[in-house]
Structures are given as C-alpha cells and as structure tokens.
Amino acid sequence: MRHLAVRNKIKVLVVDDSLVFREVIARGISSDPLIEVVATAGDPFEARDKILQFHPHVITCDIEMPKMNGIEFVRRLLPQYFVPVVMVSAVSQAVFEAMEAGVVDFVVKPDVQSPTGVATFIRDMIYKIKIASTAKTAMRTAEDTAIRSPSGKVQRTDDIIAIGASTGGTEAIFSILRQLPSAVPGIVIVQHIPPLFSRMFAERLNSQISLRVKEAETGDYVEPGTVLVAPGDRHMRLKKIGAKYRAECFDGERVNGHCPSVDVLFESVAKEAGRSAVGVLLTGMGRDGAKGLLAIRRRGGRTIAQDEASSVVYGMPKVAYEIGAVERQTPLGRIPQALFECLG
C-alpha cells in the first residue's frame, strides 16, 4: 500500500442494514492505522444525517437495504454532496448500475461464516477505501455523457486498439466504446475487475453498444468491430497468426499487483502489432500499463492517455506520462476523436 498517497486518517462512514455486518466492516477496516470509522448507519436516511455531522472522506455502502437501496442513495447524494463511495455487493449486475451512478469501486460481500473470506474482504475493502480517498470525483461530466460521432474515417481496419484501465475504468470504457462505429479495428481490453464480473461487464457492454463484446478466451481472433475483455483472473496477450491477431488467456503471477495486467497485454501488442497498434491508458491507481504503453510507443505505435481532470484516479496515466509513454494526453470525452485521428 506504500504507493498510495493518503491523508493521516481517512474518516469512513459505514452504511449497512445488518448490525452484524456493520460491526464486521467497522472493526475490520479500523485495524488499519490510516482508517478511522467515524460513524455507522443502518439505512440511507440515517446515513444522510451522519454525513452532515461527521463529514466522512469515504462511505462504504451496501446495495441491498430497506427504505432506499444503495444505488438510489448514491444517485441522490452525489449531485448535492460528493463523497467517494465504495459499494458492497453480492455477485450481480447491480454493481455496474452503481458504477454508472457514480460509485468509485465495489467489493464483493463475503460469506460471514468463512474466516478467510472475511479476511480477504476486509483487505480488499481497506485497499479500495484508500484509493477512493484520493478520487476527485466519480461523476461523469456533460462532455463525457454526450454521444457524438467522431469526425474522420478509419483508413485501416487491420490495426489493433488496446485499452487498459482500473478504478473508474468501467464507465470510462463504456463512454469511449459507445461512440465508436462498427467499422472500428478490433479492440482488446484489460480492466482490473474480479472474476465473474469481467464476463458480466462484457455482456453489459455488448447489450449497450453497436460493437460485439465478449469475455476473451484463448483462440479468439481480434476482428474489426469486436471487443475482447480479459477474464478477471487471467492475463491476456496477443499472438500474430498470419495477418490476424489471436488472444491467449493464461494463469500467471500478478504483475504490478494485478492479474490480468495491462502491461502484459500492452507489451504483447507492442511486440506483435508494432506500428499497427494504438494504446489507450485510462483512469486507475498505480503504474500498471505505463511500461507497456511505452513499449507500444517505442515500436512505432500511437499512444493516448486520459488526462488528470477527467480521471477518477490519476495514477496509471500519470506514471505513463512521466516516463514519456504518452503521445497524446486527452480528456475522456475526446478520446474517441483522438483514436480516429491516430487511425486515419
């Protein structure tokens, strides 16, 4: 956790309708010396009063609650009073509705009968609370939500677009992909996301945009108009077979703390596609993807990174920019146009 720049104490409000689970979260995250649980609440209405009283830096919130669910609470809260929210959820598509509402990140609710499950949950919660405490805003701007058609024409569809993202990335990726036409070159994506959710993320994208999106499997070919999303617990790399690129998904050690790793994908794209590659690095904490983006640029590919103002967490793009990996640093809403200019 040493790479996270945080306050001396992060004040946290824990919101959950279960008294037992409120205590599990409060005691667990309080074990970290950088976190102070200033209050707990059993429902969103009690939480509203506690926010005004204690001014927390971060809120943890369950999705399923009586009176008002966590997603509706976030939708009402954030436009008036921005506090980074880490959502607690079962394995469900609801997490993507929460991210769309403005939640910074989510943690999967554990089986409270499993000591190892609870320990893993608390470790993940502490990590994501620290990241959330650095988030500037989790809400999309009017520029990012407006759908526009990028001007220009894609000259070659045999190029490869590789995208990497972490915290805040699911909504950033959706914002970009929904503006791209079906004639766009094949796209490969690493989003730091837990297993099971990567497939849900791909299915959700597939139902919302004109491109064909699926969770990648070894043997999939990257075709124009298609998007392959790396599985949530496996690395993904590309291999050139003749004139095509084939995906390979494999188990491996974490790279930069992550599996899948953006660097693993980007470095394979640099090696296999060279000048035919466009790398895009989006919002996220840490340095994953910076080295791989530099490899793409050094091989003659084009590189784009999200700028600080539009990033939920300006970590990965910042590191890439500092090491000279970024050819163009661009607001999120302008990345589709930047892609067209790179491909034209």
pLDDT digits (tens, 9 = 90+) for 192-234: 999 999 999 999 999 999 999 999 999 999 999 999 999 999 9
In terms of average pLDDT, the best of 71-80, 128-137, 286-295 is 286-295
Stretch(es) of the chain classified as CATH 3.40.50.180:
142-343
Q: How far apart are CA 306 and CA 217, in angstroms?
A: 28
Q: Is the pTM of this model over 0.75?
A: yes
pLDDT of residue 2: 43
Longest Cα–Cα distance of the chain, Å, equals 64
- Is residue 326's pLDDT more than 80? yes
Mean pLDDT along residues 263-283 = 97
pLDDT at 146 over 90: no
Q: What is the spatial distance between Cα 150 and Cα 198, in angstroms, rounded to a whole number?
A: 27
Coil, strand or helix at 327: coil
- 1 pLDDT exceeds 60? no
Q: Which of 16, 89, 192, 311 is catalytic?
A: 192
Q: How confident is the model at residue 149 (pLDDT cuts 50, 70, 90)?
A: low
Residue-level pLDDT at 115: 74
Considering the candidates 89, 133, 166, 276, report the single residue annotated as catalytic.
166
How high is the pLDDT of residue 120? Answer: 92
Superfamily assignment of 142-343 in CATH? Methylesterase CheB, C-terminal domain (3.40.50.180)
Average pLDDT estimate for 63-78: 90
pLDDT at position 247, please?
A: 98
- What pLDDT band is residue 139 in, cutting at 50, 70 and 90? very low
- Asked whether the CA dihedral 56, 62, 68, 73 is positive or negative, the reply is positive
Please say if 144 is a catalytic residue.
Answer: no
Residue 96 CA to residue 106 CA, distance in Å, equals 9
pLDDT attached to residue 157 = 57
Instruction: Name the active-site residue from 133, 288, 307, 310.
Output: 288
Structure-model confidence comparison of residues 263 and 149, the more confident one:
263
CA distances (Å), origin 271, targets 4, 265, 281, 293, 323 = 31, 10, 17, 12, 19
CA distance 80 to 105: 20
Q: What is the mean pLDDT of the chain?
A: 91
Examine the residue annotation and report whether 288 is marked as an active-site residue of this protein: yes
Q: Helix and strand tally (H, E) in the chain?
A: 12, 14
- The tens digit of pLDDT for each residue in 95-116 reads 999 999 999 999 998 877 777 8
Query: 106: buried, middle or exposed (CB in 10 Å: 19+, 13-18, 0-12)?
Result: buried
Q: For 209-266, give the DSSP string.
A: SSSEEEE--TT-B--TTEEEE--TTSEEEEEEETTEEEEEEE----BTTBSS-HHHHH
pLDDT given at position 289: 98
Q: Which CATH number fits domain 10-132: 3.60.20.10, 2.170.190.11, 3.90.1150.10, 3.40.50.2300?
A: 3.40.50.2300
